[in-house]
A and B are shown apart, each in its own frame.
Chain A
Amino acid sequence: MSDFSEELVRPTTEDEQGETCVLSGTGMCFPWLQKHIETVATGGKREKDFAQTTSACLSFIQEALLKHQWQQAAEYMHSYLQILEDSDSNKRQGAPEIIWRLGSEILYYHPKSSLETFNTFADRMKNIGVMNYLKISLQHALYLLHHGLLEDANRNLSQAETWRYGEKSSSKEVLINLIQAYKGLLQYYTWSKKKMELSQLDEDDYAYNTASQNMLNHSWKTSINLCALIQIPGVWDPFVKSYVEMLEFYGDQDGAREVLTNYAYDEKFPSNPNAHIYLYGFLKRERAPREKLISVLKLSIEKNMILHRKKEEHHKLGLEVLFGVLDFAGCTKNITAWKYLAKYLRQTLMGSHLAWVQEEWNSRKNWWPRFHFSYFWAKSDWKDDKTLACEKALVAGILLGKGCRYFRYVKKQDHQVLQKKIKQMKKSVKKYSIVNPGL
């Protein structure tokens, strides 16, 4: 480690990859190509002895890790550290990352490892091959966070935040933003704890003022830390949530709305359902008009419940949403959806809007019977949830007519409690079924 500057020469990525995989003519990379080539090569210059030994050692470590032999892996790791003395500068530069990755994994699972060992290891690794300082700091902080050591984690992040080395690069920038955001999150934890304490205090109390002042300070620092990261495209659910909560607490509704709208609708961000849920939650808290809420919600049952409270013109949209929800395999047993669908169908048909139902049903009539209304499902639903079976039977009867297997099966069942319901169901089916047996 004497020649510090040489270490900082950024290794070319191509060379790094060359160690493990080779590109073929199609541009595809095969990690196992090297193995094939080695079985053939007999003459010529071979890899250096030390390089061969280190790669063997690396594979021993990986094998031991996959067999959960932590003790053995640690012993191999002890030898592997020699790679830091490799005369090949490319190898030497790639080594710290591998050592950190494997070493932290071993220490995480090793039965005899302790917090102190991990801390020592992390601190050492941060300074060997400074390129990884930020990454290791961040992971170290997360490790501490998960062990409940919030203060230590915070200190770690603060140190990392102020670390500067070499040229500015976009990846470094993002990492520093991440570190700041995690720091902000830690501050948010303290803030929300204080908020809880505050809510238990009397407003006239002297302590209240100090506490609220304290909180304000905290929140100011926190928002600075959080707002930089959430501008960068990504999934930042925990950060956005806490940031918005703080903004709302201090009455900055516009700021919160802007953050959420940006998070949900910025095209550079991935389409994250949570972003819409957060925005919806915010608008609901804000008592925004229904139309706005409906537009935010993409597909959910809650949307339907809002629609339900509205007038007839929303019935069409409601039907659409309910049919859409019940298309999904994970929602087949959602009793709320079935209940609403049955209700809607009845109401829509009562209002003689048969076309609305037909429109939805046409694209589904060739697969819904097998998907929802098979004999198997009738039996299994009746066994598991009789109320669900009744709701489904009603829908099946309306959509498929009296002859439908599901309907017939449920109809035949003799149940004391549900007798009235089944009778009602039969009546409804007779009255509203879209299938006309006469035709």
Chain B
Amino acid sequence: MDFPSSLPPSLFMTGPLGLSDVPDVSFMCSWRDALTLPESPPQASENGAPHLAKGLLWEPDTPGPLPLLPPGPDPWDPGLTARDLLFRGGYHFRRQPRAVLDVTEQLSQFLWDHGDIAFAPLGKLMLENFKLEGAQALYFLIHFCPWAYLSYRQRRFSILGGPVLATSLARLLGELLHEELAARWEQLLLDDAFTGGALAWVPGRMPGAGQLVYPAGGALDRLSRGPDFQKVSLTPGSEPRVLGDPGHIQLRGPVRQVVTRTVQGEGKAHRHLRPLLTDLLPDHNPDLLCPSALLAVRSDYHCALWKVGKPGQPAPLQVLQVEKGATGISLSPHLPGELTVCSRSGAVCLWNPQDGPSPPHGWPVSPRLRQVYKDPETLVFRDPSPWRWADFTAHPRVLTVGDRTGVKLVDTQGPPGCGLLLFRGGAEASCQKGERVLLTQYLGDCSPESLQPTFHLVCTQFSLYLVDERLPLVPLLKWNHGLSSTPVVAQLLPPPRPGCPRPLLLAGQAGELQLLHITGEGASTPRLAGPPQSLPSRSNSLSAFPLLEPKSQWRLQERLSAPTIGLAATVLPSASTPVLSLFQLSAAGDVFHQRLHLQADPRPDSPAPTASWTPRATSRCSRWLKTLLEVPLTPPMWAAPTFSHRRLLGSFESREVEGKVPEGLRTAMAEGRLLQHRDLGLLPTREQPPAPEPGPEDELSERLEAAWEGQVAAWWERRQGGSSGPGKQPKRHKRRTQLSSTFSSLSGRLDLSDATSPPRSPDRTVPEARPQPPVTPPSQELTQGPWAEGIPSERQQTLRDYMAELPLQGDTPGGASAPSSQTSSIRGTSSRQQTLRDCTVKLQLRGDTAGGASMPSSQTSSVRATLSRQQAAILSGSQPLRKKPRMGF
């Protein structure tokens, strides 16, 4: 453990972040780092080539990583994006753009969709304060309804209670909503749950074999989850072979971090411990397994330790519950089985699950825990983040404790809280304003012969620092990584060849991968050997997949750009060129693999040969894609109840129909189609060309329809099979005839018991690209149907109240107002389907009261315009009210 005899010169300045006066001369670009001063006076060399490996390059075998395992059977939802949270309109370009959380659009949509959810609880809450006579009446009044203006009573109440309710609503909802949105936004900007990575490689006895350990099972926030034990065999010359089915352990929480370490000690099996968890599948290939490894897993509120022993069956050792939430776990490189666990409360504990005897029966519940550090405050300056991290150092009794502001060395044997800062977010490391520590790691865990065991890596959103614990506060190396997302995992690998620099991998959450070459043998300072390089990310693999229809293509693209949550790499030493095997885990649960080889003959003059896809690779991708497209899409979390008023139309059907004009109009309205001249009894100005009537053999429309449904592959197979299955077209015909018969047979009875349609069934996941008019069930079913059960009784009552007002419309003076005002009201609400339906009702009534007076032509045209706009909106697939609510309240 020699200390470098001469350190590179650097200025040392104490102060806060972003002290701009510090000339940052020491670290400017990657080559500058190679220019540490020569020990002895440099000899004037003729060629002037500095001792820098210029051609150090890892070349990828394929342009992008390939899927290693078929996609899981569970659907994956990419979750919230910036689009869902940020304000859309009124964006002003500024030098420092500000993110404004969007509530207007989302909230109005939400209130519109879920009025009962939004307002009924408020009414119930407030009811207790209304100790007036006749509180029963108020009960119904308080239930706001988006259509409250229809009721006088409710309108009066609105006027009365508006100012009060509006403020209390704004205060109540506003605060909660803002809190929730802000938390989501923070999480979107910086998600520290997966810091450290959830993918681990457990090397086997043979150099090319090992196991991958990672959480599987689709969306990672679901409850049942298990780290898989996937055995993989690697050979330098070919793609990795996946052996057998992975074993898995079902856990009760999402896995956030997986750490492994080979134990070089006594292989004492813990047979007296019986597995607490279910589904422990035995492994069958003992010969390929590692000698013995420890496996530490961090979940949100639990940490657990397993031992992967000789037979390959992981034996659970202990589980630890972290009440405030665990943020980091690391395994000691020195003492087998010793761990550090960090909690959001600011505590760091040393955990020794293997110390002493365990209780004879059951799962040991009292782990050997020792709190070695606790400080709810951050180290250097105040930062609100509760994120903490702890790792080991070259001294087994000294730990590093890190938070967003710095990293401290803490002696676990000394008095509590003592220690000295190893890294300080400040002028010492010439940090920028707003710079925070996002990742810290002890790098001295493997093969100490090539790099000192005293180095620590500190990553911020801008830079990467290498710190020696013997020289605290002064980074020996700083490099601007330029990642466009949070750095999640870093891994230092052993040198591919003796004397070669060690590769250091850095993965960003957005899938970016960077590889740095770090050298610093013996007593020389660590520095970058050669320029850093970027490695292909998962989205670079898009070209290996066959071209798809836009919807599936988008799904694939989304899947490939899922956040990276794990990285594992291993170097396979081979005779000719060392091979780097790289595994990536995405938040969608996909494991991708990439092979790189060290450029054999670095010739800087020749352009780097570009890798291309092999037929094997593309066929593998196609197979993967096929499985992926078979996975159903995520069912919506909760479907909004939709209110259908169509059934109510039947009540007016009994009235005498006069003339062709209303009839034609009504048919056009009922069918939701374009109002045509002939419907109004007017002479067509010119003959319309006959619309292509899609027959049962219309292949194109069938295919398009299948494509919209995402079932084009199935359609193609059906076609190939020669049997054209039951197409959509005849079915729709049938449905339409059914509809019209429903209308003709409807009686004048007004039954409001089930005025709402049932919530959309969750299994009907494919959103209707061409929405059909709500299907009206036959009149026989218009009684209290089974699907009316889900509707709260008070809700039904409200609807009854409000519908009861409707027939009055015709008698009110407003109802018989001038046609021009009516027209304008129609025009004003063209986009609101619901309102339009109400208007339809009104129109109907008006027609009756006016005694069959023909419609003025101006009004007709406006109606037509409204209808055509409506239809156009439907055809273009944008139906604002049916949009799936994206905020999961």
* Shortest distance from the beta carbon of B41 to any chain A beta carbon, whole Å: 4
With a CB–CB cut-off of 8 A, which chain B residues contact A41?
Answer: 88, 91, 97
Q: Compute how far the CA of A14 lies from the CA of B173 in the bound complex, rounded to whole angstroms.
A: 36
A192 within 8 A of B: yes
A439 within 8 A of B: no
Residue from the list B48, B97, B394, B473 in contact with A37, Cβ < 8 A: B97
* Shortest distance from the beta carbon of A218 to any chain B beta carbon, whole Å: 13
Interface string of B82-94 (1 = CB under 8 A from A): 1100111111111
The A-B contact count (CB < 8 A) is 282
Q: Do residues A270 and B471 form an inter-chain contact, with CB atoms below 8 A?
A: yes
Q: Compute how far the CA of A378 lies from the CA of B608 in the bound complex, rounded to whole angstroms.
A: 49
Q: Compute how far the CA of A21 lies from the CA of B264 in the bound complex, rounded to whole angstroms.
A: 46
Q: Do residues B44 and A148 form an inter-chain contact, with CB atoms below 8 A?
A: yes
B18 within 8 A of A: yes
* Shortest distance from the beta carbon of A69 to any chain B beta carbon, whole Å: 7
Given contacts A37-B86, A46-B93, contact A26 B482 (CB under 8 A): no
Size of the B side of the interface (Cβ < 8 Å), in residues, is 106
B697 within 8 A of A: no
Instruction: Identify which of A63, A90, A178, A380 gathers the most chain B CB atoms within 10 Å of its CB.
Output: A178
B:405-458 near A, CB below 8 Å: 413, 428, 432-436, 444, 448, 452-454
Chain B residue, CB-CB nearest to A143: B35
Q: Do residues A185 and B37 form an inter-chain contact, with CB atoms below 8 A?
A: yes
One of A76-84, A232-240, A253-261, A421-429 at the interface? A232-240
Q: Do residues A35 and B484 form an inter-chain contact, with CB atoms below 8 A?
A: yes
Q: Do residues B265 and A178 form an inter-chain contact, with CB atoms below 8 A?
A: no
Residue from the list A26, A270, A363, A376 in contact with B383, Cβ < 8 A: A26
B147 within 8 A of A: no
Interface string of A49-89 (1 = CB under 8 A from B): 00000000000001101111101000000000000000000
Chain B residue, CB-CB nearest to A272: B471
Q: Do residues B23 and A175 form an inter-chain contact, with CB atoms below 8 A?
A: yes
Q: Do residues A274 and B23 form an inter-chain contact, with CB atoms below 8 A?
A: no
* Shortest distance from the beta carbon of B38 to any chain A beta carbon, whole Å: 8
Q: Do residues A36 and B18 form an inter-chain contact, with CB atoms below 8 A?
A: no
Main secondary structure of the interface of A (DSSP, over half): helix
Q: Do residues A371 and B42 form an inter-chain contact, with CB atoms below 8 A?
A: no
Q: Do residues A32 and B484 form an inter-chain contact, with CB atoms below 8 A?
A: yes
With a CB–CB cut-off of 8 A, which chain B residues contact A376?
Answer: 264-266
Instruction: Identify which of A68, A90, A171 gathers the most chain B CB atoms within 10 Å of its CB.
Output: A68
Chain A residue, CB-CB nearest to B436: A28
Q: Do residues B9 and A28 form an inter-chain contact, with CB atoms below 8 A?
A: no
Chain B residue, CB-CB nearest to A173: B23
With a CB–CB cut-off of 8 A, which chain B residues contact A148?
Answer: 42-45, 48
B716 within 8 A of A: no
Chain B residue, CB-CB nearest to A69: B608
Residue from the list B82, B385, B452 in contact with A26, Cβ < 8 A: B385
Q: Compute how far the CA of A19 lies from the CA of B94 in the bound complex, rounded to whole angstroms.
A: 10
Q: Do residues B87 and A135 form an inter-chain contact, with CB atoms below 8 A?
A: no
Q: Do residues B96 and A105 form an inter-chain contact, with CB atoms below 8 A?
A: no
A:174-231 near B, CB below 8 Å: 174-175, 178, 181, 185, 189, 192-193
B532 within 8 A of A: yes
* Shortest distance from the beta carbon of A166 to any chain B beta carbon, whole Å: 14
Q: Do residues B7 and A274 form an inter-chain contact, with CB atoms below 8 A?
A: yes
With a CB–CB cut-off of 8 A, which chain A residues contact B89?
Answer: 42-43
Q: Compute how far the CA of A33 lies from the CA of B452 in the bound complex, rounded to whole angstroms.
A: 37
Q: Compute how far the CA of A274 lies from the CA of B3 in the bound complex, rounded to whole angstroms.
A: 8
With a CB–CB cut-off of 8 A, which chain A residues contact B3?
Answer: 273-274, 277
Chain B residue, CB-CB nearest to A28: B436
* Shortest distance from the beta carbon of A28 to any chain B beta carbon, whole Å: 5
Q: Do residues A329 and B25 form an inter-chain contact, with CB atoms below 8 A?
A: no
A:154-176 near B, CB below 8 Å: 169-171, 174-175
With a CB–CB cut-off of 8 A, which chain A residues contact B672?
Answer: none
B166 within 8 A of A: no
One of A107-115, A120-128, A282-290, A338-346 at the interface? A107-115
A:276-328 near B, CB below 8 Å: 277, 327-328
A147 within 8 A of B: yes
One of B68-76, B329-337, B565-573, B756-764 at the interface? B329-337
Q: Do residues B11 and A37 form an inter-chain contact, with CB atoms below 8 A?
A: no
Chain B residue, CB-CB nearest to A36: B82
Q: Do residues A270 and B474 form an inter-chain contact, with CB atoms below 8 A?
A: yes
Given contacts A29-B433, A30-B190, A241-B6, contact A150 B42 (CB under 8 A): yes
One of B26-34, B319-327, B767-775 at the interface? B26-34
Q: Compute how far the CA of A27 lies from the CA of B384 in the bound complex, rounded to whole angstroms.
A: 9
Instruction: Identify which of A35, A39, A65 gathers the most chain B CB atoms within 10 Å of its CB.
Output: A65
Residue from the list A15, A29, A109, A178 in contact with B31, Cβ < 8 A: A109
Residue from the list B5, B41, B99 in contact with A193, Cβ < 8 A: B41
A403 within 8 A of B: no
Given contacts A69-B608, A104-B29, A235-B7, contact A22 B448 (CB under 8 A): no
Q: Compute how far the CA of A17 lies from the CA of B435 in the bound complex, rounded to whole angstroms.
A: 12
Chain B residue, CB-CB nearest to A379: B264
Chain A residue, CB-CB nearest to B486: A32
Chain A residue, CB-CB nearest to B44: A148
Q: Do residues B433 and A17 form an inter-chain contact, with CB atoms below 8 A?
A: yes
Q: Do residues B31 and A68 form an inter-chain contact, with CB atoms below 8 A?
A: no
Given contacts A28-B436, A29-B432, contact A36 B7 (CB under 8 A): no
Given contacts A69-B608, A148-B42, contact A24 B186 (CB under 8 A): yes
Size of the A side of the interface (Cβ < 8 Å), in residues, is 103
A9 within 8 A of B: no
Q: Do residues A171 and B48 form an inter-chain contact, with CB atoms below 8 A?
A: no
Residue from the list B10, B41, B395, B434 in contact with A235, Cβ < 8 A: B10
Q: Do residues A29 and B186 form an inter-chain contact, with CB atoms below 8 A?
A: no
With a CB–CB cut-off of 8 A, which chain A residues contact B471?
Answer: 235, 270-273
Instruction: Identify which of A29, A44, A67, A178 gathers the most chain B CB atoms within 10 Å of its CB.
Output: A29
Instruction: Identify which of B7, B385, B462, B533 gathers the most chain A CB atoms within 10 Å of its CB.
Output: B7
* Shortest distance from the beta carbon of B727 to any chain A beta carbon, whole Å: 39
* Shortest distance from the beta carbon of B62 to any chain A beta carbon, whole Å: 15
Q: Do residues B93 and A47 form an inter-chain contact, with CB atoms below 8 A?
A: yes
Q: Do residues A367 and B1 form an inter-chain contact, with CB atoms below 8 A?
A: no
Q: Do residues B383 and A27 form an inter-chain contact, with CB atoms below 8 A?
A: yes
With a CB–CB cut-off of 8 A, which chain A residues contact B10?
Answer: 234-235
A:125-160 near B, CB below 8 Å: 135, 138-139, 142-143, 145-150
Q: Compute how far the CA of A115 lies from the CA of B49 in the bound complex, rounded to whole angstroms.
A: 10
Q: Compute how far the CA of A146 lies from the CA of B32 in the bound complex, rounded to whole angstroms.
A: 11
With a CB–CB cut-off of 8 A, which chain B residues contact A143?
Answer: 35
A117 within 8 A of B: no
Q: Do residues A236 and B9 form an inter-chain contact, with CB atoms below 8 A?
A: yes
Q: Do residues B186 and A26 form an inter-chain contact, with CB atoms below 8 A?
A: yes
Given contacts A109-B54, A148-B43, contact A327 B397 (CB under 8 A): yes
Q: Compute how far the CA of A69 lies from the CA of B186 in the bound complex, rounded to whole angstroms.
A: 36
Given contacts A28-B436, A44-B91, A272-B471, contact A235 B394 (CB under 8 A): no
Given contacts A25-B182, A147-B50, contact A274 B90 (CB under 8 A): no
Chain A residue, CB-CB nearest to B34: A146
B81 within 8 A of A: yes
Q: Do residues A66 and B533 form an inter-chain contact, with CB atoms below 8 A?
A: yes
* Shortest distance from the beta carbon of A271 to any chain B beta carbon, whole Å: 7
Chain B residue, CB-CB nearest to A13: B20
A-B contact pairs, 11 of them (CB 8 A): A26-B385, A31-B461, A41-B91, A43-B88, A145-B37, A192-B41, A235-B8, A270-B471, A274-B7, A327-B395, A374-B266
Known contacts A15-B96, A28-B385, A270-B474; 10 additional CB pairs below 8 A are A25-B182, A26-B186, A30-B189, A39-B81, A109-B531, A234-B10, A235-B7, A270-B428, A329-B444, A370-B336
Binding site for A on B (CB under 8 A): 1, 3-14, 18, 20-23, 25, 28-32, 34-35, 37-38, 41-45, 48, 50, 54, 57, 81-83, 86-99, 182, 186, 188-190, 264-266, 333-336, 383-385, 394-397, 404, 413, 428, 432-436, 444, 448, 452-454, 461-462, 470-474, 482, 484-485, 510, 514, 531-534, 604-605, 607-608
Give me the 7 closest cross-chain CB pairs, A-B, nearest first: A29-B434, A330-B1, A66-B534, A147-B48, A36-B82, A44-B91, A189-B41
